[in-house]
């Protein structure tokens, strides 16, 4: 058996005011090509199909079109769950009749988890869930944490599974030790949203979504696919991919990556305004975070850069390391206006006032004092 594992499509996502939908359609076409080339027996979508609970209409159409392409036109069975960005109720709609074409979509957790027989395996769909949901549906007040909830779910699954078959779990969770990125929504404050790897003991393959790094954890049977696109500059160095998983009987044979190439990459570049406008970097239509190294004031740097790099999403000014100051209140009160303004200027701009600037400020302060005295 061979299947493709992906997750975190986040259809309809907007990054720094720019819609990613065209990029998402482009990357979905690549995933389609990979699925055809690999001749996969199934496709797994491990949550966060949409970027928000009420997705825009054009995002709904993109998901509808790609599911039709994969499941109806290509005849590939699909195993999908909701993630923390999705509306469980919306994704659950129609799931009972979808199954007639082997589109298994589970949006909500129920009191009983049922395995889906598929070739030499059983597939268990475990949508994103908060502890309160599992506490309610299991009628178990001892379930207080994300760990408790996942342990309760997988314990029930183990009590039901067929030990003669390979066991595949599709989930959406934050496994302890995983590496997050800036584009994921926190599940909870602090680390209470973590679940341990031993929640998934005994499963042949655990296909997870939520963390966007493709190598968020290193484990022999637990894998994140990562998001198919970069959604924050913390992911700039990632090489996005989908997982191709091969099994033989009950054994996991191989887990490999098929890399994806975005229509526009997400990159971080640095330099002065003159350097970046006189010597353009490769692929200037990519999405950029620009770190400007210029000192002093600049007039409309974003406008000037956008003439050469139309898809700048974020601009930062690099400041020099500031000198630490331990001035006491008494020392501050002894300083004159020019010294205090000089400290403020250095804090904001990362540079000290020039002698010319100091002289002009001294003239301004002197003029102000004269006007106050009149």
Q: Which of 313-317, 342-346, 362-366 has the highest mean pLDDT?
A: 313-317
Inform me whether the pLDDT recorded for 5 exceeds 90. Answer: yes
Inform me whether the pLDDT recorded for 348 exceeds 70. Answer: no
**Is-contact 102 71, C-beta < 8 A?**
yes
Percent of the chain with pLDDT over 70: 89
Spatial distance between the Cα atoms of 72 and 92, rounded to a whole number of angstroms:
19
Q: Is the sign of the CA dihedral 303, 304, 307, 311 positive or negative?
A: negative
**Is-contact 127 106, C-beta < 8 A?**
yes
**Is-contact 237 250, C-beta < 8 A?**
no
**Is-contact 143 134, C-beta < 8 A?**
yes
Q: Looking at the chain, list the stretches that DSSP marks H as alpha helix, in order from N- to C-terminal side.
A: 21-38, 57-67, 88-92, 95-98, 131-137, 146-160, 273-278, 301-306, 329-334, 337-349, 355-373
**Is-contact 263 18, C-beta < 8 A?**
no
State the pTM of this model: 0.82
Q: Which residues pair with 271 in a beta bridge?
A: 292
pLDDT grade for 328, boundaries at 50, 70 and 90 = low
Q: Which residue has the higher pLDDT, 311 or 368?
A: 311
Spatial distance between the Cα atoms of 109 and 26, rounded to a whole number of angstroms:
32
Beta pairing class for 18-19 and 14-15: antiparallel
Spatial distance between the Cα atoms of 153 and 285, rounded to a whole number of angstroms:
46
Q: How far is CA 349 from the centre of its chain?
A: 32
The DSSP call for residue 53 is S
> How many other C-beta atoms are found inside a 10 Å radius of the C-beta of residue 3?
27
The CA distances from residue 110 to 14, 104, 128, in Å, are 32, 15, 12
The DSSP call for residue 80 is E
Inform me whether the pLDDT recorded for 353 exceeds 50. Answer: yes
CA-wise closest residue to 107 among 119, 90, 124, 122: 90
Mean pLDDT of the chain: 89
Interval 220-232: pLDDT, tens: 999 999 999 999 9
Specify the 3-state DSSP secondary structure of 316: strand
Inform me whether the pLDDT recorded for 154 exceeds 80. Answer: yes
Inform me whether the pLDDT recorded for 158 exceeds 50. Answer: yes
What does the block give as tokens for 74?
A: 């290509």
Q: What are phi and psi of 210, to 5 degrees?
A: 120, -55
**The predicted structure's pLDDT at residue 350:** 62
**Is-contact 90 53, C-beta < 8 A?**
yes
One DSSP character per residue, 257-285 reads: EEE---SS-EEEEEE-HHHHHHSPPSSTT
Spatial distance between the Cα atoms of 319 and 369, rounded to a whole number of angstroms:
33
Q: Which of 15-19, 85-89, 293-297 has the highest mean pLDDT?
A: 15-19
């Amino acid at each position: 058996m061979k299947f493709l594992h992906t997750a975190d499509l986040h259809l309809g996502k907007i990054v720094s005011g720019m819609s990613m939908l065209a990029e998402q359609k482009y990357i979905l076409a690549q995933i389609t090509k990979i699925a055809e080339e690999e001749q996969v027996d199934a496709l797994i979508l491990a949550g966060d199909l949409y970027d928000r609970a009420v997705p825009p209409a054009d995002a709904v159409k993109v998901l509808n079109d790609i599911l039709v392409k994969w499941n109806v036109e290509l005849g590939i069975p699909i195993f999908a769950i909701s993630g923390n960005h999705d509306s469980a109720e919306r994704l659950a709609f129609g799931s009972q009749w979808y199954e007639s074409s082997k589109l298994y979509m589970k949006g909500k957790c129920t009191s009983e988890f049922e395995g889906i027989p598929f070739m030499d395996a059983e597939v268990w769909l475990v949508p994103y869930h908060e502890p309160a949901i599992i506490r309610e549906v299991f009628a178990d007040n001892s379930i207080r944490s994300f760990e408790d909830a996942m342990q309760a779910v997988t314990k029930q699954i183990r009590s039901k599974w067929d030990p003669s078959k390979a066991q595949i779990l599709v989930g959406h969770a934050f496994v302890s030790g995983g590496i997050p990125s800036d584009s994921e929504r926190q599940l909870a404050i602090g680390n209470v949203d973590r679940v341990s790897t031993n929640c998934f003991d005994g499963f042949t393959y655990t296909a997870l979504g939520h963390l966007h790094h493709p190598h968020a954890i290193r484990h022999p049977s637990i894998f994140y696919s990562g998001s198919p696109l970069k959604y924050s500059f913390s992911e700039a160095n990632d090489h996005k991919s989908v997982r191709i998983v091969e099994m033989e009987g009950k054994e996991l044979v191989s887990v490999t990556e098929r890399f994806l190439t975005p229509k526009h990459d997400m990159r971080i570049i640095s330099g002065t305004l003159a350097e970046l406008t006189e010597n353009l970097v490769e692929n200037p239509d990519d999405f950029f975070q620009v770190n400007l190294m210029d000192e002093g004031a600049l007039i409309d740097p974003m406008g000037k850069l956008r003439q050469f790099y139309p898809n700048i999403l974020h601009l930062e000014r690099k400041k020099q390391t500031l000198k630490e100051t331990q001035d006491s209140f008494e020392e501050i009160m002894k300083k004159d206006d020019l010294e205090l303004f000089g400290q403020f200027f250095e804090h904001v701009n990362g540079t000290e006032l020039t002698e010319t600037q100091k002289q002009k400020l001294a003239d301004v302060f002197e003029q102000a004092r004269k006007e106050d005295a009149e």
